[in-house]
Each structure stands twice: as structure tokens, then as C-alpha cells.
């Protein structure tokens, strides 16, 4: 499937309602970007990157959600009822939500196999670094994987799950797709914005080392480009799901990387409760 013939600056944002908000971009840098997932040794900053905010329109995509394609814009949206009663219950998430999301991804993408390898809960009111695994919303424009780390993370996680024929699997087309959802009341504070992958230039993506205590990953920081087109789905609730393409092994014009970030919504009430959300990270394997 090739999308080369499509116009990259498709006016899909035309006539859509929007909010104006500050998005935090990486400033171009000469050295390799390094970010730590933990408190680094004394004298070393958590990140050696410097960042700058740009005030941009973020378009309400609800009215065009059926026209947005995961393989073109790099994200997609659907209604999907979950039977999870408590997303803070680790066992219930793995026992109930993982199979729900696996089937949903197969339905949405036509995948032959889906492997869920990670999930993250976000709630600024409950996040206690070092004490629990709940994180705050990420408020810098980024993409979770790079053209390199998509493969290295896949090999690592598939091996950890005891999956056989890894070399064969990684020779066919696969993608890393996040499944993002509200887990409590409708989201008002720190909603998620997603950038149309077709509006992102190759030089906008800056590979950076992501330092863990036991390994080094790689993610993309993103530098500002006036062509970027940003979208969100306001007031998302727990029976809606947003898909974000963070990597695709296909290199024939299909969307590969959809940058994203939380942002401060200027229409959010001052007393809005902290955003509560979950994102699953998944490998999606397409028919050979």
C-alpha cells in the first residue's frame, strides 16, 4: 500500500473548531539527546535537551473521526466499551483489558497477531515516583520509538514473552500502536494532542537515548515545524479509545510516527480533576 500520491498538506483541519495552546518542542541541538527515566547521578541533568513552547491551534477531530486513518494520519479513534471496573487493579487490567484491546486492534487493523507488552497509568494526583508506577502526563512533543528502537524493543519484548520465530515475525510488516483511554471521568485536564504524521518532516524527528537503570532505549524528540497539524478529541471518556502509531516497519508512504503530547487546554475548568488515563503499548503484526 502506498500513499505517495496523496497531498501531504491535506486540509483536514479546515473549518474545524479548535483551541489555541502552548506545545513544548525540542530546540535543535548538536549533541545526542539524552533523557533519564530515573534521577541520574549528581551533576547530570534529567535531560540535556532544551525546549521552547509554541502557541498552536489544536483541532477538535470528533466530527471527522471516521475519515482519519491509522495508516495515513498515524492515529485513529473509536468507541469501545470496556468491562474493566478498576484500571488501578493490575491483575484486572491484564486479565480483562489486555484481551479486549488485543481483539479491538485485530478488528481495527486486520492484524493476524497482537502482542501487548506494556501499559502506563497516568494521574498527576496519585503519581509518586519511586513509590508507584503511576506517572504524570507527558508534556513534551515526542514519539515513543524510533526507526531503530522499534526493532530492538520488539526483539527484547518478544523474547521476554517466550515467543518463537522472532526473526520471521520481524521480517513481516509490524507496527507499535498505543491504545489510549480515559479510565475515570471524562478528561478535561491535560488532554492528549496527536500530530498528523503526514505533516511531520523527517528532520523534525530527533533520536535521543532514553536511559533506564539496566538498559538504553531510544525515542524521538520533535523540533518545531509550522506545517505540523495537531488534533485532539475533547472530553474523552472510558468507552472511547485513541490509537497512536509510534512505529511502523513499512517504508512505502504509510504513516510511521505520530508525535503526541499532553497540553494545557485553555477551556478546561480551573478546578478540573487530574487526568486519569491508561495507554497500552502493543506490537501489531500484519498479514504476510
pLDDT at residue 80 in the model:
96
In a domain, 3, yes or no: no
In a domain, 94, yes or no: yes
Angstrom distance (rounded) from CA 286 to CA 111: 5
Angstrom distance (rounded) from CA 73 to CA 96: 29
Q: How many domains are contained in the chain?
A: 1
In a domain, 245, yes or no: yes
Please, are residues 69 and 28 in contact by the beta-carbon 8 Å criterion? no
- What are 122-167's pLDDT values in tens digits? 999 998 877 788 999 999 999 999 999 999 999 999 999 999 899 9
Q: How do beta strands 134-135 and 113-122 pair?
A: parallel
Phi and psi torsions of 42, nearest 5°: -55, 135
The conformation of residue 204, written as its DSSP 8-state character, comes to: G
- What are 54-92's pLDDT values in tens digits? 999 999 999 999 999 999 999 999 999 999 999 999 999
Q: What is the dihedral sign for C-alpha 115, 93, 257, 108?
A: positive
Domain that holds residue 42: 23-285
Q: What is the dihedral sign for C-alpha 130, 131, 133, 138?
A: negative
In a domain, 191, yes or no: yes
Residue 173: is its pLDDT beyond 60?
yes
How many CA atoms within 13 Å lie on the side-chain side of 165? Answer: 5
CA-based nearest residue to 127, from 190, 181, 170, 84:
190
Grade residue 10 by pLDDT with cuts at 50, 70 and 90.
low
**Three-class secondary structure of residue 205 per DSSP:** strand
- What are 98-116's pLDDT values in tens digits? 999 999 999 999 999 999 9
Residue 7: is its pLDDT beyond 70?
no
In a domain, 17, yes or no: no
In angstroms, the Cα distances linking 248 to 30, 83, 148, 254 are: 27, 29, 11, 8
In a domain, 200, yes or no: yes
In a domain, 252, yes or no: yes
**Three-class secondary structure of residue 175 per DSSP:** strand
Q: What is the pTM of this model?
A: 0.93
In a domain, 8, yes or no: no
- What are 233-280's pLDDT values in tens digits? 999 999 999 999 999 999 999 999 999 999 999 999 999 999 999 999
Residue 8: is its pLDDT beyond 50?
no
Give a three-class secondary structure readout of 264-288: CCCCCCCCCCCCCEEEEEEEEECCC
Amino acid at each position: 500500500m502506498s500513499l505517495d500520491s496523496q497531498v501531504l498538506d491535506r486540509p483536514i483541519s479546515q473549518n474545524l473548531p479548535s483551541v489555541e495552546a502552548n506545545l513544548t518542542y525540542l530546540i535543535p541541538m548538536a549533541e545526542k539527546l539524552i533523557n533519564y527515566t530515573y534521577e541520574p547521578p549528581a551533576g547530570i541533568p534529567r535531560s540535556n535537551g532544551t525546549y521552547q513552547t509554541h502557541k498552536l491551534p489544536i483541532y477538535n477531530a470528533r466530527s471527522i473521526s471516521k475519515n482519519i486513518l491509522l495508516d495515513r494520519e498515524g492515529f485513529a479513534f473509536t468507541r469501545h466499551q470496556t468491562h474493566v471496573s478498576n484500571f488501578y487493579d493490575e491483575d484486572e487490567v491484564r486479565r480483562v483489558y489486555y484481551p479486549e484491546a488485543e481483539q479491538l486492534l485485530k478488528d481495527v487493523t486486520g492484524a493476524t497477531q497482537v502482542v501487548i507488552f506494556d501499559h502506563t497509568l497516568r494521574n498527576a494526583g496519585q503519581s509518586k515516583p519511586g513509590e508507584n508506577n503511576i506517572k504524570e502526563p507527558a508534556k513534551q512533543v515526542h514519539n515513543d520509538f524510533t526507526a531503530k528502537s522499534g526493532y530492538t524493543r520488539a526483539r527484547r519484548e518478544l523474547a521476554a514473552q517466550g515467543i518463537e520465530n522472532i526473526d520471521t515475525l520481524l521480517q513481516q510488516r509490524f507496527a507499535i500502536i498505543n491504545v489510549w483511554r480515559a479510565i475515570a471521568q471524562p478528561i478535561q485536564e491535560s488532554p492528549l494532542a496527536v500530530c498528523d504524521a503526514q505533516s511531520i518532516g523527517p528532520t523534525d524527528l530527533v533520536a535521543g537515548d532514553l536511559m533506564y537503570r539496566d538498559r538504553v532505549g531510544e525515542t524521538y524528540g520533535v523540533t518545531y515545524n509550522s506545517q505540523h497539524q495537531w488534533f485532539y478529541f475533547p472530553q474523552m471518556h472510558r468507552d472511547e479509545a485513541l490509537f497512536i502509531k509510534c512505529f511502523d516497519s513499512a517504508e512505502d508512504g504509510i504513516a510511521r510516527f505520530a508525535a503526541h503530547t499532553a497540553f494545557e487546554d485553555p477551556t478546561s475548568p480551573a478546578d478540573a480533576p487530574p487526568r486519569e488515563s491508561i495507554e497500552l503499548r502493543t506490537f501489531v503484526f500484519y498479514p504476510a
